Structure 1
Amino acid sequence: MPPSSENRTLLKDNKLLRIEGGSADFPADTDELSSGYTLFVDDSYFFWLSMELPQAGKKKTDAFVRNYLSTFFPENMLTSYGYVQRDGKAYIYVLAPALVDLIETNPQIFRKAGSVTTPMLELIAKNSDFRYHDGNRVYSISDSLITQQPENPDEMDTPLTFEDGIRIEVTAFNMKLPGVGREKLAIEKYKVPAAVLLIAYVLFATGEYFYAKAAQNDLEAYEKRLNKIYIDTGVATKADPYGSLLFHAKGGGDTSGGIDVLDTLELISDSATKGKVGLESLVIKENSVTCTGKAVDFQSVEGFKTNLETNGGVTASVDDTDKIEDGIKFVVRFDQ
């Protein structure tokens, strides 16, 4: 039997709301709510990933998920996360600091809930392919797997939102939130905002993990710079812009933490003249950056080198050029 509206609530923007008639407009008081209600937690409280899972017991599945997360995040970030399973896939949620604080200060909201889920999770149970906007980030769900994307104004379809998810009456998931059921949630010394977890995920192959300052304007500046790089490097409309960017940046080799990778990518995208210089790969090793690409003529290669030196204050050199049918293939290197 579907739960009644009195037993359905939404936690959003640090407010607990009753869900009535498919909308959540009325404040809810946990003291007045009967235990066992369905709690929808807004997806903006989480950073989402997903993976396909082999058949295994819980112990092995826990290890698969933790190993998967450890390729994206350093160990000290993996203090508050969980996952749910459906149809051979794991949906992994990393809790934002705001939710960690709510669980610590208002545990009764979560302890009295009979089940905990999110609007996007319930939409995944009903639809295998759609886009979802949580108010801050856009997720693309394809074959029931989650990929985060930059918001693209050229997309013709309108993303689904929490309002679509909370209309689903019979829920399919029940999340186990870290800290619920214990007196106090263990918190690491450093709380890293969810937006910076995204930056660390994008740049994990380089070893460059960005530890955020608290100021929101700094976080927004990082996101704007990343979106500009997606557009300038031509990967903004790819199904997996992160993977495409990492492929070009890694260039098949290992990288090190000696360079600020975000600044380096921005310098290269600003210095390559659009329509005249195109980059095919980057290799970052220690303090050296090697760019391989094609240009329309030798002057454009020299212009790219000069722009790098002017914009970044670096010493650049043209290590190789080769005349090809449609222009010049080149290798330009600079140190930072």
Structure 2
Amino acid sequence: METTTSTIFLSGGSDFFLLTDAAKTPVEPQSVLAMKSGYNLIIDDSSLFYTGMEFPQAPKKRTDMFIRNYLSTQFPAELTAYFAYMKKGDNFLIGIFKPDLMENPAMKTVLDKAGKITSPMAIRYGTTDTFVHTYGETTIQSEDGLVTHIEKQGLNSPRPTQVPASSALTVPFVKAPAMAMGEYKYAVIALVLCYALFVTGLWFRYEFHNSKANRAEAMLNRIYQQAGVADDADPFGKLKFKAEKDGGASYAVLSVLEKVSRAQAERITAASIDIKNGSVVYEGTTSDYAFIEDFRKQLKKETGKEINLIDTKKQEGSITFTLRFQQ
């Protein structure tokens, strides 16, 4: 379904009209302020003072500054606070907003909400190379983009009802919503990507620590099962009580379990730990023989004992192994 962009004509600095091919309908200023952003705004030539400037190879990013500096050498500063321009080749059409237009506090809002801002002179400048344009007592001649004021010639030029794409003025002091979004869209995209990466990183860290905690919990439950305290309301307290009751030898058992826990790597899963008569037998599973060797070296570092690899068996994509060392 096609939609038509509304075109508003501003006459005399305060009168608004809705333009169509067939009619020009008066519109209250409050109605214009309430309109959805993105409309075309044609400003009557009488609200602008036109001049020209030749500037070959003008830098795109600093054009506003160069034009402002140029105007400051030609006109009083208070008259050049608000201006618009259009580039054609090496030349610029510059329209200076008359002070009484910008004294209306609602005018800034009207300009901000406009999708395109232009004028009858700007429309001819953007679509015609050489022409003579008359409005009121003023006649402007444009030859290949070079603008000059000449003596009045003929009747007023006809007012347009449509806004060609090539006729939009650049208005430095106006930031239309669409333009503002275009200016910052890459920063917004980068910010969203950074946030997504941050959230993803947090999720992976959570999964890593959660997996590690689950393995530690499973190992602790196996210890409780082997010690016969798993069904107790306080299995750790019960295990500690039994250790104190059994004397120093039982404390040594807890020490061994602590060292095994510190040495156990992420890719190692404990199956059982059997401690009898000063000998410790550890059975576990992993996915690679290299992980067994790394675990054996780390366990040797923690216990200060020789760690013997007793048995390995590969089955169904995993490796089961058995280590033995002395307390």
* TM-score normalised by structure 2 residue count: 0.46
Report which of the two has the higher share of helix: 2
TM-score, length basis structure 1: 0.45
Specify the structure having the higher radius of gyration (Cα). 2
